[in-house]
Amino acid sequence: MNTRKKTKLETCQDEAEYEQAQRDLNAASKEFVTEFIDCEGDVFYSTYTKAVNSIHTLERCEEIMAATKVGDEWNLEKGVVGKWRYPHLRGDE
């Protein structure tokens, strides 16, 4: 499998997506806590789901940021993201 180091643009995209995921998690957490307090310990399932999905998205972003290489196929255990993650940066759109 051919791999290469991430470019600065790819790293910047990962960082921007991570920062957005952090903002989304903050908003979902605030909504969850507010609803939890207002409903005296109950929350709507949709609010719970939004918070959980935000956590998973942030964790995925952390895994992608930790990967330092780009290759033909994904292998986050070896720190490689798939080259198709960044087609717009290569002009392949």
Per residue in 71-85, pLDDT (tens digit) is 989 999 999 999 888
How much helix, strand and coil, in percent to the nearest 5, is found in the chain?
A: 70, 10, 20
User: pTM of the full predicted structure?
Assistant: 0.84
- 8-57 pLDDT, tens digit each: 999 999 999 999 999 999 999 999 999 999 999 899 999 999 999 999 99
Q: Report whether 70 contacts 4 (CB < 8 A).
A: yes
Which residues pair with residue 16 across a beta bridge?
none
Angle at 26 between CA 59 and CA 46, to 5 degrees: 85
